[in-house]
């Protein structure tokens, strides 16, 4: 049985599907499953939003479902944008504009500390939560965008002197918040797929 990756973010689908392919787990994206419905992310924590997505998309499709809610916490912004990362600076901004908005807000700021957070929730085909796991990646916000790989805020997120966008997917997965959360939840995915397959 295939696992539904419950996100409309193609960057996330690609990363998760690649990581799960290594474990021989076949994935479906929401568009593969013909789902156009968009879950309202009304939660105030990553766990709330990941749970909303996993439960509702599982119930809609009757498939084992993995949802990811993730975002950026910036120390100098008191942990913002957090759960609002996808909408930071306004819905109408493109991602490069969003990255510039963040850089502008940190213009004269010496404290560049930040982290990516990822919460993953796994549901069975009835929408019952089977597991939840978290992953964190500590880093800092750079001074200009660098690199062509990845997605989202990768060009402005620096780890050990290089942005995530300057790293190939295989390298990012070893250190990333998403890679860590996925590694932790993998045994539960394998168990669920074995039991429902």
Active site residues: 69
Chain residues 153-182 in contact with ligand IMP, contact rule CB under 6 A: 153-154, 164, 176, 178
Applying CB under 6 A, does 85 fall inside the site for ligand IMP? yes
Query: How far is it, in rounded angstroms, from Cα 71 to Cα 177?
Result: 10
Kindly report the number of other CB atoms within 10 A of residue 6's CB atom.
Answer: 32
**C-alpha gyration radius of the chain:** 17
Taking CB under 6 A as the rule, does residue 71 contact ligand IMP? yes
Distance between CA atoms of residues 57 and 67, nearest Å: 9
CB of 24 to ligand IMP, least distance (A): 23
Contact call for residues 131 and 54 (beta carbons, < 8 A)? no
Q: Is 73 in the site for ligand IMP (CB under 6 A)?
A: no
How many residues bind ligand IMP (CB under 6 A)? The answer is 17
Tokens 């966008």 sit at which residue? 165
Interface with ligand IMP by CB under 6 A: which range of 17-25, 68-76, 124-132, 138-146?
68-76
Stretch that binds ligand IMP, among 23-31, 69-77, 99-107, 138-146 (CB under 6 A): 69-77
Minimum gap (Å) between residue 106 Cβ and ligand IMP = 16
Site for ligand IMP in 106-125 (CB under 6 A): 116
| Cis, bond preceding 157 (omega within 30 deg of 0) | no
Query: What span, in angstroms and rounded, lies between the C-alpha atoms of 25 and 76?
Result: 40
23, 185 contact by CB (below 8 A)? no
Question: Could you say whether residue 70 binds ligand IMP (CB under 6 A)?
Answer: yes
Instruction: Indicate whether 140 belongs to the interface with ligand IMP (CB under 6 A).
Output: no
Alpha helices in 143-197 (DSSP H): 169-175, 177-196
Residues that bind ligand IMP (CB under 6 A): 7, 9, 41, 69-71, 85-86, 116, 150-154, 164, 176, 178
């Amino acid at each position: 049985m295939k696992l539904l990756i419950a996100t409309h973010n193609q960057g996330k689908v690609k990363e998760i599907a690649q990581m799960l392919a290594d474990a021989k787990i076949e994935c479906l994206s929401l568009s593969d499953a013909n789902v156009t419905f968009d879950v309202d992310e009304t939660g105030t924590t990553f766990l709330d939003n990941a749970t909303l997505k996993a439960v509702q998309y599982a119930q809609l499709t009757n498939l084992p479902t993995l949802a990811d809610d993730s975002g950026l916490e910036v120390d100098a912004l008191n942990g913002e944008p957090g759960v609002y990362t996808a909408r930071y600076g306004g819905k109408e901004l493109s991602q490069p504009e969003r990255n510039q908005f963040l850089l502008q807000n940190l213009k004269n700021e010496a404290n560049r500390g930040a982290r990516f957070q990822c919460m993953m929730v796994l549901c069975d085909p009835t929408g019952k939560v089977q597991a939840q796991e978290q992953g964190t990646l500590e880093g800092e916000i750079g001074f200009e965008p660098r690199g062509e790989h990845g997605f989202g805020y990768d060009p402005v997120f620096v780890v050990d002197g290089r942005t995530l966008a300057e790293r190939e997917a295989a390298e990012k997965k070893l250190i990333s918040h998403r890679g860590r959360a996925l590694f932790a939840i993998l045994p539960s995915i394998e168990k669920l797929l074995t039991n429902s397959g």
